[in-house]
Structure 1
Amino acid sequence: MLRQILGQAKKHPSLIPLFVFIGAGATGAGLYILRLALFNPDVSWDRKNNPEPWNKLGPKDQYKFLSVNTDYSKLKKEGPDF
């Protein structure tokens, strides 16, 4: 497969940016899925010791990927303790 891609790149050099962007996009998507699987509070890898990890999040914990205008250090807790 790699030999075929390199052969096409030699015959048509204008395809090289296409191969680069497709490879970078696939790598970025894979890294994002890995980040979600490892650091998202909705994912539980250890069901015996920590069956509900989202209950241990405090109001000051930032778990969003991007937060534009929210300062998590100044938030108050609005819900009950479980």
Structure 2
Amino acid sequence: MNLFQLLMKKKELIPLALIMTVAASGASSFAVYSLNKKSDVIIDRRGNPEPWEAVDPSVPGKLITINQQWKPIEELQKVRRATR
């Protein structure tokens, strides 16, 4: 309750508190989004020792991707098939 009393006494701190709250919630929500949706963020290394095998190369890994086209490299596909 002490924070609210301070904000009511010094009203010039209200915009600063609002900006800091929005920034902290945005950073937290992006961290949660990255943990859930990004393929390059890995929490459990023991459960899947080779997580890069589960990545779909046709799905972009960035927030914004402009004109990305993915084509498989034939030599790498041959090596992958030979090692399995």
TM-score, L = length of structure 2:
0.71
Q: Is the 8 A contact 1:44 1:52 kept in 2?
A: no
Q: Partner of 1:80: helix, strand, or coil? A: helix
TM-score, L = length of structure 1:
0.72
User: Once the 2 structures are TM-superposed, how far is the Cα of residue 38 of structure 1 from its aligned partner?
Assistant: 1.8
Residue 67 (structure 2) pairs with residue 70 (structure 1): yes
User: Once the 2 structures are TM-superposed, how far is the Cα of residue 17 of structure 1 from its aligned partner?
Assistant: 0.9
Which aligned segments of 4 or more residues in structure 1 are displaced greater than 4 angstroms? none
**With CA pairs under 8 Å and 6+ residues apart, which has the higher RCO, 1 or 2?**
1
Identity %: 24
Instruction: State the aligned residue count.
Output: 76
CA distance in structure 1 between the partners assigned to 2:59 and 2:4 by the alignment: 47
Task: Flag structure 2 segments of 5+ consecutive residues without an equivalent.
Answer: none
CA distance in structure 2 between the partners assigned to 1:58 and 1:37 by the alignment: 17
Larger radius of gyration: 2
1:47–1:39 Cα change, 3 Å: farther
